[in-house]
Structure 1
Amino acid sequence: MFSSRLQSVLLGLITILGFIQASSAAGASYAKHPTRRIAGISVIDTPLVRAAESFAKQHSSHAVYKHVMRSWLYGTLMLGANETLHRNVDPEVHAVATLLHDLGWDTTKNSPLISTDKRFEVDGAFAAREFIHNHKDGKRWEDRKVQLVWDSIALHTERSISFFKELDVQVVSKGIIMDFSGPAYDVSEDDYAAVGKVFPKNDFKNAVNQSIIWLCDTKPKTTYDTWMQPFGERYVEEYDPRGKQRIDLMFQNLTLKGQ
């Protein structure tokens, strides 16, 4: 019996030590990345991240570009303020996902990034995945990292889902949300304000309104029954979600004849 208990204790210790070692290895691996400073914040600086920033700038208005930069910096501050996040969230995954999260707002005429039948979040997720696959360093990424970027972008507006996904996905969503709601998640008011001085949000409200209105106007079917629907109802003439929401489709298909 004593031998059995000893074996159980040793097995438990081995498991714990293995977890600690793996966590430390992950943290050490992430710490090896080169860095640069933006708004006084140390951020990861790899060719892939630089390319992602450039790609975002190419496919965004100036106001939206500033938004993705602020979101990235807020998320980076989160990583620096929380040891668990610092050790377990891949800063390159976080950077690429956050920088590319609004590719679905590319209003350029005939943009290859924009579909006619998908929500903007999904357009952005697919565009980011293609960007990674086309980059010489991204080609070496394991599938899981690419999937984390896809999930982070596709779910970034759906807090009831993204907040319960992997830590990488959570941080992307929370960093983006901070640009709307203010400092949180151990990000100080001073650090938050410093980011806003470098990337001011004076034009952000109008950019958000125009982007969502554009989606409701150009591909309304992707906005029905979503958080975007009120923008269409309020600002887009002839926008009509009646009979096109999930409750309508459910009752239409489930109601028997004669009832």
Structure 2
Amino acid sequence: MTTPNRRPASPSGPAIGGIPVPDSTLAREATELIRDVTDDLLYHHSRRVYLFGAHHGHHQGLDFDPELLYVGALFHDLGLTGKFRTSQQRFELDGADEARAFLTARGIPEDRARLAWEAIALHTTPEIPHHMAPEIALVSAGVELDVLGIGYDTLPTATREAVVAAHPRPDFKRRILHAFHAGLAHRPATTFGNVKADVLDRFEEGYTRPNFVRIIEDSPWPE
């Protein structure tokens, strides 16, 4: 018996570091799409996000849909790619919208597709995702481990080495910051209220960080 509103377990391909990787038609199509539109940096990063997130989920005994987690991980940085260089919404929303469209076009119910949307839309918002559905929490956990190193010491060395061997991260810190900058420089206002404001503060000449207190004080209200 399956959990209500949860898809049956999807087929898995060869595991990486003991972590099963979905090998359904949907997962293969997602891989092909992301491989075609991202460079090695974002592709390998996104696969690591899935692997680290799934490992965390298995370790915590969470009941999650591997396909939704996989799509959420693969699409989470899609908004940083060239396709969205004229977009004026948050890059997280670009990727979230694309993931939801991808899933619903393949017959995934809207309530399930929305989990992937929320996972991507919230992956730069600290803490809140970890109190939501497992698929949402685990995308954030994977991102936090791969980008920020949160949980690095709790990941078995053999697992970490196997994941990085399959999906290398040469000069990753410098290159991912460059990718963030390139994807955000044309829409600086969208970084207000999330961690990406730090990127433009560091790398964008002339950038002035919006200040929440000043916005309140300068609002048109007389008092």
How many residues are matched? 220
The one-letter code sitting in structure 1 at the alignment partner of 2:95 is G
Equivalent in the alignment of 2:11: 34
Aligned twin of 2:183: 215
Q: Distance in 1 between matches of 2:182 and 2:204?
A: 9
1:42/1:224 CA distance change after superposition, 3 Å? closer
Cα distance in 2 for partners of 1:165, 1:26 equals 17
Identity over aligned pairs, percent? 25
Inter-partner Cα distance in structure 2 for 1:46 and 1:162: 26
User: How big is the alpha-carbon RMSD for the aligned residues of Structure 1 and Structure 2?
Assistant: 2.4
Aligned AA for 2:16? A
The question of 1:45 aligning with 2:23 is answered yes
In the alignment, the residues of structure 2 paired with residue 155 and residue 53 of structure 1 have an alpha-carbon distance, to the nearest angstrom, of 22
Distance 2:214 2:56 in 1: 41
Q: What aligned pairs does 1:1-259 form with structure 2 within 5 A after superposition?
A: 25-26=2-3, 32-40=9-17, 41-83=19-61, 85=62, 88-106=63-81, 108=82, 111=83, 113=84, 116-134=87-105, 138=106, 140-180=107-147, 181=149, 183=151, 187-241=155-209, 244-253=210-219, 255-256=221-222
Deviation at 1:229, TM superposition (A): 1.8
Instruction: Measure, in 2, the Cα distance between the counterparts of 1:164 and 1:213.
Output: 29
Amino acid of the residue matched to residue 127 of structure 1? Answer: E
Q: Distance in 2 between matches of 1:151 and 1:174?
A: 14
Q: Which has the higher contact order (CA 8 A, sep 6+)?
A: 2
The separation in 1 between residues aligned to 2:140 and 2:207, in whole angstroms, is 29
Give the TM-score, by structure 2 length: 0.87
The residue type paired with residue 157 of structure 1 is T
Q: Distance in 1 between matches of 2:192 and 2:56?
A: 33
Q: TM-score, structure 1 length as denominator?
A: 0.76
List per-residue Cα deviations over 1:97-144 (Å, max 9, x = no partner): 1111110110x2xx1x4553211111110111122233xxx2x21111
CA contact (8 A) 2:44 2:167 kept: yes
User: Per-residue displacement from partner, 1:195-219 (whole Å, max 9, x unpaired)?
Assistant: 0111111132122111222234211
Residue by residue over 1:181-207, the C-alpha shift from the partner in whole angstroms, topping out at 9 and shown as x without a partner, is 154596422211210111111132122
**Structure 1: tracts of 5 or more residues without a match:** 1-23
Deviations 1:44-103 (A, max 9, x none): 2111111111222222221111101111111222233233x1xx2111111111111110
Query: 1:49 is aligned with what amino acid?
Result: A
Distance in 2 (alpha carbons) for counterparts of 1:151 and 1:214: 24
Is the helix fraction higher in 1 or 2? 1
Deviation for aligned residue 1:174:
0.5
Q: CA deviation at 1:165?
A: 1.1
1:203-239 per-residue CA deviation (whole Å, 9 max, x = no partner) reads: 3212211122223421111123432222222221222
Q: String of CA shifts for 1:138-196, please: whole Å, max 9, x gaps.
A: 2x211111110000000011122111111221111102211131545964222112101
Name 1:3's counterpart in structure 2: none
211-220 or 178-187: which moved more?
178-187
Is the Cα contact below 8 Å between 1:36 and 1:43 reproduced in 2?
yes
Whole-angstrom CA distance in 2 between matches of 1:59 and 1:159? 27
1:161 maps to amino acid: I
Distance (Å, rounded) in 1 between the aligned partners of 2:183 and 2:131: 27
